[in-house]
Structure 1
Amino acid sequence: MKSRKYLVYDVFTDTALAGNPLGVVLDCEGLDTAAMQAIAREFNLSESVFILPPDNPRHRARVRIFTPDYEMPFAGHPTVGSAVALAEQAANDGTAGMFVLEENIGPVRCAVTKGGGATFAEFDLPKLPQQLDLSIDAAVLGAALGLSPHEIGFENHRPSLWSAGVPYVTVPVANLDAAARIRFDNNAWMDLAPSKGEGIVASAYAYCRETVHHDSAFHARMFVPGNPSYEDPATGSAAAAFAGTILHFDEPVDGLQRYWIEQGIEMGRPSRLRLEVDVESGKMAGARIGGNAVKVAEGVLFA
């Protein structure tokens, strides 16, 4: 039985015991898919990553991402956490640099920087968000979130379905009060939410313009349907999909647009995600997700 080092990072935060926790298992040569899934189930975090040698020697690593129940093609907080972990594990204390991680969705370019505090990493979206068909009555959608129909939508924002590798129903809600009162009804959501490939049911990403922190552009909550369902404190793949929502409804001017998104506050796991969007001729030319990550534990896995 081979022993393998593992790390636990809190991602999209510069403070331990906040943000979204991530298990990182190093040196995973020899582990098959079933073993990775079993280890992810043992960690029982929203996601765990397994670091393998890259297929392309010019890249830094091959990264496989698992929830306790299934493998993900792509996810944001595992990408940020993996990039920070690999940079901090480098022999030259490599807390800065640019490299490529190989994920199931394809190659993902990452940039890591070290300032005076926690390490920061960002990645280019490997796939830009696409809008998918959605037809759900506001009353039905509101009921699944425990809200009234009049609390769904603000300004010109309406519920829509987007995917940048993982599908999300982005649901505008009236304000912070409405966001705080959301009570996710998993059975109702499973009845209404579309399923897009590999049995993945679109998750609920509720957002509002009113925020707790003055420098945040949006306040968000994200709910994953399933058995059991759960709320996620920080979701990079949802922010990636949400970039499409912003471009569609807000129509930002050409140039670099930067947004800070706050999430996880209602859970006591406050998180901050940075979304950057390159707008050219009114269209999205590129986008990046970034955030800090803090190592909170390490140990040896005998499996």
Structure 2
Amino acid sequence: MAVFGFQQVDVFSTEPLKGNPLAVVIGADGLTDVQMAAFANWTNLSETTFLLAPTSPEADYRVRIFTPETELPFAGHPTLGTCHVWLAAGGMPKADEVVQECDIGLVRIRRDSGRLAFAAPPLRRSGAVEPEVLARIALGLGVAPEAIVASQRIENGPPWIGVMLRSRAEVLALTPDFAALSGLIIGVVAPWDPSREGRDAQFEVRAFIPGSAVTEDPVTGSLNAGIAQWLIGAGIAPPSYIASQGTTLGRAGRVHVDQIGADIWIAGAVVTCVEGTVRL
């Protein structure tokens, strides 16, 4: 048994307990795959990450990302949360941007007005959603097929399918049938009405992951990255906007999206909630 540095942080919120929690084990190179998977299963958070020495000469650090059930090649809130912990532990980037190594490749991260932002990785799969899959999604969400006004495959590691509804109220009212959605992971988005809902955000997002320990993710960086690439690319969203997520779970997540040149950056605040050591 060895002792490792440990932090639990809250991502996409300036206020503790209002974002998406992440457990981070520091200096985890000595852990086996089995130990990492077991600890992630024990934390029972949507993701747990392990900070490792990089294998790429371009990277500042390497990260492995685990859900309670499996390992992910990439995820958004673990990217920002792990970078926050690496910097807090004294990490010094080789250049202006931090470069994270993970299974999807190298991910660039920049510090932006008190927030961290990652450059959305290229989509592994995009394009139209098959009609039979879309019909199954409508059934599982409990909405009429015509309530889905747009849809897109937005796979960037996790195999997200994005669907758009007409209003924030429709998104917040969803009570999915997770059995009907088994095998799919769904991101739902709709615009805010500024006249009724204010200008704190421009879109509402929910993330549904049937069959997982966390069936609704509080605030999801990878999903918001895919949604941004889809909506901005289609001219549905402006080059800069804020997405709200986690409302129905009592959270107040805010995801800041900015297109700068060819890159789409996904930004959020990170706050440390727990700091200490873990014995594994």
Q: Give TM-score scaled by structure 2 length.
A: 0.90
For residue 152 of structure 2, the aligned residue among 160, 165, 187 is 160
8 A contact 1:64–1:103 mirrored in 2: yes
Q: Tell me what 2:257 maps to.
A: 275
Give the drift of 1:142. 2.3
User: Is 2:120 aligned against 1:143?
Assistant: no
8 A contact 2:168–2:203 mirrored in 1: no
Q: Tell me what 2:266 maps to.
A: 289
Q: How many residues align?
A: 275
Give the drift of 1:39. 0.6
Q: Tell me what 1:197 maps to.
A: none
Q: Tell me what 1:80 maps to.
A: 80
User: Is 2:117 aligned against 1:122?
Assistant: yes
Q: Tell me what 1:243 maps to.
A: 228
Give the drift of 1:278. 4.1
Give the drift of 1:66. 0.4
Alignment of 1:1-303 (within 5 A): 1-90=1-90, 98-113=97-112, 119-128=114-123, 130-136=125-131, 140-153=136-149, 158-190=150-182, 201-210=183-192, 212-228=197-213, 230-250=215-235, 257-278=239-260, 285-303=262-280
Give the drift of 1:187. 1.5
1:213 to 1:82, Cα distance in 2 relative to 1, 3 A: farther
Gaps of 5+ in 2: none
8 A contact 1:83–1:112 mirrored in 2: no
CA-based RMSD of the aligned residues comes to: 2.3
8 A contact 2:65–2:78 mirrored in 1: yes
Q: Tell me what 1:282 maps to.
A: none
| 2:81 alignment partner, SS class | helix
One-letter identity of the residue aligned with 1:296: C
Q: CA-to-partner distance for each residue in 1:90-129, whole Å, 9 max, x for gaps?
A: 178x9x952211111001111125x5xxx41111123247
Give the drift of 1:149. 3.2
Separation in 1, partners of 2:36, 2:204: 34
8 A contact 1:147–1:178 mirrored in 2: no
One-letter identity of the residue aligned with 2:143: L
One-letter identity of the residue aligned with 1:108: V
Q: Percent identity?
A: 31
| 2:181 alignment partner, SS class | helix
Q: Tell me what 1:194 maps to.
A: none
1:60 to 1:228, Cα distance in 2 relative to 1, 3 A: closer
One-letter identity of the residue aligned with 1:101: Q
Gaps of 5+ in 1: 191-200, 280-284
8 A contact 1:84–1:120 mirrored in 2: no
One-letter identity of the residue aligned with 1:107: L
| 1:216 alignment partner, SS class | coil
8 A contact 1:258–1:275 mirrored in 2: yes
Separation in 1, partners of 2:124, 2:230: 9
1:168 to 1:258, Cα distance in 2 relative to 1, 3 A: same
Q: Give TM-score scaled by structure 1 length.
A: 0.83
| 1:186 alignment partner, SS class | coil
Give the drift of 1:89. 1.6
1:244 to 1:124, Cα distance in 2 relative to 1, 3 A: closer
1:265 to 1:215, Cα distance in 2 relative to 1, 3 A: same
Separation in 1, partners of 2:164, 2:57: 43
| 1:234 alignment partner, SS class | coil
Separation in 1, partners of 2:71, 2:118: 20
Give the drift of 1:227. 4.6
Separation in 1, partners of 2:72, 2:136: 29
| 2:180 alignment partner, SS class | helix
Give the drift of 1:291. 0.6
